[in-house]
Amino acid sequence: MTNLGLHTKLKEIKTLILKEATLEWRQKYAISGMLLYVVSTVFVCYLSFSLKRNQLTPIVWNTLYWIILLFTAVNAIAKSFSQERFGRLIYYYSLCSPQAIILSKILYNCLIMLLLSLTGFAFYAFVMGNPVGDIKLYLVSIALAAVGFASVLTLIAGIATKAENSATLMTVLSFPIILPMLLMTIKLAKNALDGLDWSVSMDEIQTLLAIDAIVVTLSYLLFPYLWKS
């Protein structure tokens, strides 16, 4: 019985993710807008630094990339609940379980964040130079950050859309919450930048995975209370 329940739940999540993707594909302005947002932010940074580009130390290079990514993530995920009309949300809620909705949103936002951060990284490395020593570890840190940012911000977006001034609230609520994750990621990325051995970074990877696990579990448990209102 539980096996069957799990199966239908997975199917539900799959359908919901496909629905999100179809919706995104139909109104392309959202995702293309976000891609343009990353690219133009990177370009603004490039132009602002262009006179002194070779004076950019690895620490500044790294931090700048993650700050750009932080703002991108907040902007991209903030709309994940507000994009759809209110009536349609009620329709979904009457059809599926809230757990399936939050998990599908988190997974879908993970995919979006991976797309955005990898595109951002490619373009950033292209214009700002690429001092990364261990590219594989850097990609690992990008993947961990994408998953972590998506899972934290999805629940916060759900909270913020319930309030009136949701744009400000989204930033104020999410920045302090996301900070431990951001600091860990920056540290991990710095290790990758210096090309240190993977064993040095195991601590950071484990902590990031632990924070991700806590956040996803909490979102899973708390979201049902959120959509009731």
User: Based on CB atoms, which residue is closest to another protein, 8 or 168?
Assistant: 168
CB 171 to another protein: min, Å: 9
- Please count the other Cβ atoms lying within 10 Å of the Cβ belonging to residue 151: 29
- Please count the other Cβ atoms lying within 10 Å of the Cβ belonging to residue 90: 11
86 touching another protein, by CB under 8 A: no
**Closest to 21 in 3D by CA, of 61, 80, 72, 78:** 80
User: Based on CB atoms, which residue is closest to another protein, 89 or 222?
Assistant: 222
Contact 41, 82 (CB under 8 A): no
User: Based on CB atoms, which residue is closest to another protein, 10 or 183?
Assistant: 183
CB 148 to another protein: min, Å: 11
CB 51 to another protein: min, Å: 29
CB 168 to another protein: min, Å: 9
Cα 208 off chain centre by: 14
User: Based on CB atoms, which residue is closest to another protein, 110 or 184?
Assistant: 184
CB 80 to another protein: min, Å: 16
**Closest to 17 in 3D by CA, of 126, 89, 112, 93:** 112
**Going by C-beta distance under 8 Å and a sequence separation of 6 or more, which residues neighbour residue 193?**
58, 61, 62, 131, 132, 133, 134, 138
CB 173 to another protein: min, Å: 5
Q: According to CB under 8 A, which residues from 165 to 224 bind another protein?
A: 165, 169, 172-173, 175-177, 179-180, 183-184, 203, 207, 210-211, 214-215, 218, 222
Binding mask 129-158 for another protein (x = CB under 8 A): --------------------------xx--
- C-alpha distances in angstroms, 36 versus 76, 106, 119, 123? 11, 22, 10, 11
Cα distance between residue 191 and residue 48, in whole Å = 26
Taking CB under 8 A as the criterion, the residue among 162, 195, 198, 209 binding another protein is 162
121 phi, psi to nearest 5 deg? -65, -45
Q: Which residues bind another protein (CB under 8 A)?
A: 155-156, 159, 162-165, 169, 172-173, 175-177, 179-180, 183-184, 203, 207, 210-211, 214-215, 218, 222, 225-226, 228-229
